[in-house]
Structure 1
Amino acid sequence: MTLLTDAPADQDQRVPLSRITALFEPYRWQLAGLLAVIVVQAGLGVASPFFLRRIVDEALPHRDTLLLTVLAAGMIVSSVGSGAFSVASTGIANTVGQRVMNDLRVAVYGHLQRMSLAFFTRTRTGEVLSRVFNDIGGVDNVVNTTASSLAQNGITTVAIAVALLIMDWQLALLGLLVVPVFLIFTLRLGRRRRKLARGRQGRLARLTTMVEESLSVSGVLLSKTMGNGAELRARFAAESREISRLERESALAGRWQLASRRICLTCVPALVYWISGMALSHGASPASIGTVVAFTSMLNRLIAPATAMQSVGQNLSTSTALFGRIFEVLDLPVEIDDRAGAGELSVREGAVSLRGVSFSYGDSPTLRDIDLEIPAGSTTALVGSTGSGKTTLAYLVARLYEPGVGRVLIDGVDIRDVTLESLASAVGLVSQETYLFHASVRENLRFAKPDATDEEIERAARAAHVHDTVATLPEGYDTVVGQRGYRFSGGEKQRIAIARILLRNPPVLVLDEATSALDNRTERAVQEELDRLAAQRTTITIAHRLSTVEHADQIVVLHEGRIVERGKHAELLALGGRYAKLVRGDSP
């Protein structure tokens, strides 16, 4: 079974750089334009020291005001131009970065949506939320600024290095000795930051799970009625403290290395001044005063991009762990997906067949050797004690699960050979676990049929006997139902769900205890509407009240994953077997 797991904090997550750069592949032309802008910006950025050298060596000694004006203007123009191109490069980088972020979010969300129902029953909701929000949000800075910063500072560093060599190659060799040291320190520091980042994201996932569970309506009700709010607060505080500890370690990691590198970069210009001054004082330096001044000015410019590249390296190392968690989601195999060449399911009659079907959630089989024919337009009731496999069998028809052995067919077509979208249009499911979005009643109903008119929505609500309830609300059908529909009672939510399926009007209908939360009077009224809906369509119904399935065309009795009886109500009563015991309420 595929699961999202959190690797230990000390496990270094390796992600090929090529996979990260592939995210930018659709925007290669924009990136080429960005590179061109950065090259021009870097060229303008190193022009000023050359103007400065001529000012010191030529314009000032000869008191040439015209040359001084031209050179000073050149310094101003190159500075303004460099700034303008810097703004342009930032704009292009952020545009590309936000598009990549959008692509990444959509890809992760879309892939998670394709995962099977079994995946979500075994994965913490908070873990899923953390991958979508915390992990993707964590790489936002890298995607938006780090890539362009790496290119910008890298090209600037190369441009300054070339300019230094042109000015004085001997002094340049001394100044450039510190660059390899930077790279070595950055690589060593990166491994530590990756470990800390993965540990932090794992803790954030657990904290997100705790918040999602304990601050939901159900979680708050449970904690208040159990009186264990203090325990939950203590658990939250413990997780929060651990995250703070990891954040602190990450912030402090390599601070001494960073400080020593900054000191080194600052000391090098002073050393250049000292060496040049000593050489000039002894007449042994071919470099002019202007060259020394311009050289140290340019060497000071090397501090900013070199320091920035340190931060870029650290950010990349930290983000590698986050990319590892994101790609872990994208690499999850989709267990139930459209086969190659899958066609559209066109329901002619709606006959459903299960042939030799077996299914297991784990080592123990849930369904074994199921052979069942459900004629088109008929109603089949599935009954049995808790855990007998009723819901699993119904979910196999909707392909929410896939049998390990055997086939499920609709009109003789294996449902694995048709698209999931066309199957979802053909098979409607109303489950016992009614789910409503935190949206209006109208939006919840229209989810089943996006193009439904207001008249169709009201007609479906009337048929489900929920219109009068909705009409009494302050905003009617525009009333927001609240998280998971907690503004409504269980019976009202179930009637809204029934109205939703009435609006959709599928040819095959699966009712998993669809009226379990209704009172007897309302259940009878809604059951009549469901019976009307079931006419001329194939219906599979699971009911906890056996009185609601007495008129089914066939009743299938499940026990320990096997079909042990089948027939009509009267026939099974006369048989005196398990169904008769269930009707009498005897222990199975």
Structure 2
Amino acid sequence: MRYGRPQVRSTRSPLTEEEKQNKPKVTKAFLRRILSYLLPYWPRLALVFAAIILSSLLGLLPPLLSGRIIDDGLLGRDFPLLVQLILLSFIVLIIANLINVLENYLTTWVAQHIIYDMKNQMYDHLQQMSHRFFTNNHQGDIITRMTTDINGVQSVVVGTLTRLVSNTIILVTTFAALVQKNWLLALISMIIVPLFILPTNQVGNRRWSLTMAKQEQTDASNQLFNETLSVSGQLLVKLFTRESKEYAKFEKINREITRLSIREILVGRWFRVIFDTFTNMGPMIIYLAGGFLMIKMGSGLTVGDITVVVALLGRLYLPVNVLLTIQVDIIRSLALFSRIFEYFDIPVEIKNSPQAIVPKECAGTIVFEHVSFHYEGKPVLKNINLTIEKGKSVAIVGPSGTGKTTLINLIPRLYDVTGGRVLLDGQDVRDLDLNFLRQNIGMVAQDTYLFNGTIRENLHYANEHAQEEDLIRVCREANIYDFIRTLPDGFDTLVGNRGLKLSGGEKQRLAIARVLLKDPKVLIMDEATSSLDSLSESLIQEAIEPILKGRTSVIIAHRLSTIMAVNDIIVLQEGEIVQQGTHWELLKEDGLYKLLYETQFKIALEDLEHR
């Protein structure tokens, strides 16, 4: 443990008004919950505290030995003793520093394993969240809880907890040593404490306000980066020739950040000047008081005693400063755990029944019985009754916002019904094992998502054991194989972030191939051909019937190619089935389907006839 002048650490910022208002409610249950993460590692934590105590006690020896070095060694002119005392001080210092290394290793080890446990628990918990959770919460907030918040636990264990314990022990042991040496000088040494408490708080407040102002400008800068330096943003800037305007906007923000940074740094430097001034006043006062007691009062104090008191002052002031501001760290540490627990406490909405059924096989018959669904109190689906026989295909059409996507999301239990039930082969899907249910359902979403990897890796996500011939087969079925063959790296071609290197049609055909590789009994396609150009649509049209053959298929369709291939068409309007039948049957009725056909499908039909 170092002695002499204390190290100046950056002042911790005070609590904001928002932090004060949102302080977590500390209860026994809350504290027990925090301790539950520490208890598995209590043997190592016990070693940490033992190391802190031992290090604090050993840290007292060099200052105390310095008194004997001066009185007995130097003034007593005993050179052998002087050498022994210096060697002893050196050995003690090495041992104390080695113990500090051990303490840092142990606290880091414990912190990292707590983070490991919490991240595993959080990831597992998030994986069980319903689709509703991910649509209602910002992705950035979810990632922040998973990374920044949990990583912050290390600062709680390594920082707040150990700093509280170590500084308390250092303060107690140092003050006890001062009193033992000379109680009057010990009291005098405390006079200087109020002189640096006040500027510490004032500078902390000022620095915090500057930091917050700079953070606001930094946020604005990051927002500008995200908007203007992304692929889509840059395209927009160029097309509207806004380069100079955006540069002027950034230059203004950057200039303000520079100005605030300079002020923030200077505030810190002035604080260090003030801190150094006041902490150096302590030894001067001790020299003055000690000299007065020795010279004027005939006290038994020695030069060595005064030197010991001065050396111990450095161990006294820093712990006082730390403990005066430790409340901020404690509140923020508790708030950190509160944010983490907030996510842990979100109930798992979609989960397996305790007696989940795992049938031997899936035939694929789907039945909706009086199904209704409400979202945040708003009715989305109303009394839906529908039977889809195994191996048959159904297209769902209707205006936007009528509940088409919600209806198909009920089949794999991305949501659960709020009324009625959905049956698969006569079993309520809520009673089926989730893995069994979803393994037998393949879904192609409108917003095709590809991982930033190769075509092969994206296909293998559906079936990691698939062979090369399997990949070729499904890609032929989805009419994407001829395109893949033209690529220099074939299946090992990188698709880029979210498949950015592929066109919309190529991504969707690849997504269809990926689902086919899964070979599901039930195939769900949510406007899966909506992004295809005319050529791609033609390719899918050629393949759509063999894709649907032998599978129960439910398709949200805006494309004529899909509608013409299905066995039945369901027309939804305001969450209700208003028409049902084949394409030609529905055209004979003066209903919504005929209107959709006239305004949406007929143009596509005429386009096909003229090819």
Q: TM-score, structure 2 length as denominator?
A: 0.80
Q: What one-letter code is carried by the residue in structure 2 that aligns with 1:355? A: E
**Alignment partner for residue 499 of structure 2, among 485, 492, 511?**
485
Aligned twin of 2:557:
543
Aligned twin of 2:23:
14
Matches within 5 A, 1:53-202: 53-106=67-120, 111-129=125-143, 141=155, 144-176=158-190
Residue 459 (str. 1) matches residue 464 (str. 2): no
**Equivalent residue of 1:397, what SS?**
coil
Q: What one-letter code is carried by the residue in structure 1 that aligns with 2:354? A: G
CA spacing shift, 1:139–1:48, aligned 2, 3 Å: same
Aligned twin of 1:4:
none
CA spacing shift, 1:522–1:29, aligned 2, 3 Å: same
CA spacing shift, 1:430–1:35, aligned 2, 3 Å: same
Q: What one-letter code is carried by the residue in structure 1 that aligns with 2:80? A: L
Aligned twin of 2:425:
411
Matches within 5 A, 1:129-528: 129=143, 141=155, 144-176=158-190, 211-212=225-226, 214-229=228-243, 263-307=277-321, 329-330=343-344, 333-334=346-347, 336-338=349-351, 341=354, 343=356, 345-346=358-359, 348-362=362-376, 364-418=378-432, 420-520=434-534, 522-527=536-541
> Any conservation in 2 of the 1:383–1:558 contact (CA below 8 Å)?
yes
Q: What one-letter code is carried by the residue in structure 1 that aligns with 2:518? A: R
Q: What one-letter code is carried by the residue in structure 2 that aligns with 1:473? A: L
**Equivalent residue of 1:46, what SS?**
helix
Q: Deviations over 1:339-379 (max 9, x none)?
A: 56262654532222223333344565332222222223321
**Alignment partner for residue 32 of structure 1, among 46, 62, 84?**
46
**Equivalent residue of 1:387, what SS?**
coil
Q: What one-letter code is carried by the residue in structure 2 that aligns with 1:446? A: H
Q: After the TM superposition, which of the residue ranges 510-519 and 224-233 deviates more from structure 2?
A: 224-233
Structure-1 separation of matches of 2:332 and 2:269: 15
Structure-2 separation of matches of 1:293 and 1:507: 86
Q: Deviations over 1:87-122 (max 9, x none)?
A: 222222233333344445555555555444444445
Q: What one-letter code is carried by the residue in structure 2 that aligns with 1:450? A: E
- How far apart are residue 440 of structure 1 and its match? 1.4
Structure-2 separation of matches of 1:108 and 1:198: 30
> Any conservation in 1 of the 2:128–2:351 contact (CA below 8 Å)?
no
Q: After the TM superposition, which of the residue ranges 137-146 and 455-464 deviates more from structure 2?
A: 137-146
Q: After the TM superposition, which of the residue ranges 283-292 and 195-204 deviates more from structure 2?
A: 195-204
Structure-2 separation of matches of 1:97 and 1:185: 33
CA spacing shift, 1:161–1:286, aligned 2, 3 Å: same
Please give the root-mean-square deviation of Cα atoms over the aligned residues, in Å. Answer: 4.1
Structure-2 separation of matches of 1:120 and 1:44: 54
- How far apart are residue 280 of structure 1 and its match? 1.1
CA spacing shift, 1:189–1:242, aligned 2, 3 Å: same
Q: What one-letter code is carried by the residue in structure 2 that aligns with 1:13? A: N
> Any conservation in 1 of the 2:353–2:433 contact (CA below 8 Å)?
no
- How far apart are residue 497 of structure 1 and its match? 0.4
CA spacing shift, 1:392–1:232, aligned 2, 3 Å: farther
**Equivalent residue of 1:515, what SS?**
coil
> Any conservation in 2 of the 1:429–1:511 contact (CA below 8 Å)?
yes
Structure-1 separation of matches of 2:218 and 2:520: 42
**Equivalent residue of 2:451, what SS?**
coil
> Any conservation in 1 of the 2:353–2:430 contact (CA below 8 Å)?
no
Q: Deviations over 1:120-172 (max 9, x none)?
A: 44544455555555656677655544543443333333332232233223322
- How far apart are residue 477 of structure 1 and its match? 1.8
Structure-2 separation of matches of 1:21 and 1:189: 34
- How far apart are residue 46 of structure 1 and its match? 0.9
Structure-2 separation of matches of 1:268 and 1:574: 99
> Any conservation in 2 of the 1:190–1:314 contact (CA below 8 Å)?
no
Structure-1 separation of matches of 2:499 and 2:292: 82
CA spacing shift, 1:481–1:261, aligned 2, 3 Å: same
> Any conservation in 2 of the 1:558–1:564 contact (CA below 8 Å)?
yes
> Any conservation in 1 of the 2:23–2:331 contact (CA below 8 Å)?
no
Structure-2 separation of matches of 1:319 and 1:485: 40
Q: Deviations over 1:316-340 (max 9, x none)?
A: 6666666665555555x35633156
Structure-1 separation of matches of 2:347 and 2:81: 71
Structure-2 separation of matches of 1:173 and 1:580: 95
Structure-2 separation of matches of 1:229 and 1:168: 72
> Any conservation in 2 of the 1:407–1:414 contact (CA below 8 Å)?
yes
Unpaired segments of 5 or more residues in structure 2?
1-15, 603-611
Structure-2 separation of matches of 1:306 and 1:432: 61
Structure-1 separation of matches of 2:112 and 2:568: 57
- How far apart are residue 446 of structure 1 and its match? 1.6
- How far apart are residue 583 of structure 1 and its match? 3.0
> Any conservation in 1 of the 2:52–2:103 contact (CA below 8 Å)?
yes
Q: Deviations over 1:205-260 (max 9, x none)?
A: 77656644544333333343344455555666677778778878887889888765
Structure-1 separation of matches of 2:141 and 2:390: 42
Structure-2 separation of matches of 1:406 and 1:199: 54
Structure-2 separation of matches of 1:137 and 1:158: 32
Q: Deviations over 1:296-326 (max 9, x none)?
A: 2122333454456567666566666666655
**Equivalent residue of 2:410, what SS?**
helix
**Equivalent residue of 2:71, what SS?**
helix
Aligned twin of 1:49:
63
Q: What one-letter code is carried by the residue in structure 2 that aligns with 1:356? A: H
Aligned sequence identity (%): 36
Unpaired segments of 5 or more residues in structure 1?
1-6
Structure-2 separation of matches of 1:177 and 1:546: 87
Q: What one-letter code is carried by the residue in structure 2 that aligns with 1:99? A: H
> Any conservation in 2 of the 1:53–1:291 contact (CA below 8 Å)?
yes
Q: What one-letter code is carried by the residue in structure 2 that aligns with 1:174? A: I
Q: After the TM superposition, which of the residue ranges 42-51 and 54-63 deviates more from structure 2?
A: 54-63
